[in-house]
Chain A
Amino acid sequence: MLIKEIVDVVKAEVLTNFHDENTDVKYGFASDLMSDVLAYATGEALLITGLNNPQVIRTAEMLDISVVLFVRGKRPGKEVIELAKENQLTILASDYTMFKACGLLVMNGMEGLEIND
């Protein structure tokens, strides 16, 4: 799904923008547990989370995740945005709950990551 479509579908605000709006993000991974993100997500996924501390950006950085969507109306603080800029992450924020955001994204063609252990 293109970043501009993600923005449309979840009515997101674009907080930092380092990618072309036509960049394709095929998969989504939603969690508030960064340890699970580290265990199961990959760099090609959109990270969907309701946590908004710097560790979210660090986690994305370690995995080469390039787009993060904050849900539940969470707006990250200044230091989180600065860290995202340092790492050239595109961050979006939506007022939808995680469930609703995920549901809308799936309905519009985004796929979930498969867990391979």
Chain B
Amino acid sequence: MTDKILKRYSYDVIANDFMSAGKSSSAIKSNLKSLGIASDIIRKIAIISYEAELNLVIHSFGGKLHCDIFENKIVIISEDTGPGIADVDLAMKEGFSTAGDSVRELGFGAGMGLPNIKKYSDQLKINTSSEGTTIVVTIYL
């Protein structure tokens, strides 16, 4: 099977823009709906993409969210320009968070972001350094 991207949706995500957080994931969700993807798959992708988008808003200097459609899978990619995840193992632990009170007041920053992404994904790859973080999440169709 060829690994060719059939379609890519890309969105800019702005750091600390809590009012808009979720807009990109909402757009991804409606695009997937119009492609006729099954609703249980869409729900998984929506959760993954929303958590990834929130991570970009909360923790990064800003970045991009991509949704790549392949014949047999959908891949959500989050890429930012820093500052990087200091300890990935800790960040994967449920309940561990470096988010501040302003984020917690919004109902997030409970240390569930990456664990949730992992929970709903078939494959999760994280590359991080002070230059930036790239998270690649695969969901098979």
Residues of chain A whose beta carbon lies under 8 Å from any beta carbon of chain B: 32-39, 43, 49, 51, 53-56, 58-59, 61-64, 79, 117
Q: Which of A35, A43, A58, A63 contacts B113 (CB 8 A)?
A: A35
Q: A55 touches which one: B18, B46, B110, B119 (CB < 8 A)?
A: B18
CB of B19 within 8 A of CB of A38, answer no
Q: Which residues of A contact B18 (CB under 8 A)?
A: 53, 55
Give 14 A-B pairs besides A35-B113, A55-B18 with Cβ atoms closer than 8 angstroms. Answer: A34-B108, A35-B107, A35-B108, A35-B110, A37-B107, A38-B47, A49-B107, A51-B107, A53-B18, A59-B50, A62-B22, A62-B25, A62-B50, A63-B47
- Supply 24 A–B pairs (Cβ within 8 Å), ascending by A: A34-B106, A34-B108, A35-B109, A38-B112, A39-B116, A39-B119, A53-B18, A53-B106, A53-B107, A55-B18, A55-B106, A56-B107, A58-B21, A58-B22, A58-B26, A59-B50, A61-B29, A61-B46, A62-B22, A62-B26, A62-B43, A63-B43, A63-B47, A117-B119
Majority-rule SS of A interface residues: helix
Count of chain B residues with a beta carbon within 8 Å of a chain A beta carbon? 24
Interface residue? B79 (CB, 8 A): no
Segment 101-122 of B: residues with Cβ below 8 Å from A: 106-113, 115-116, 119
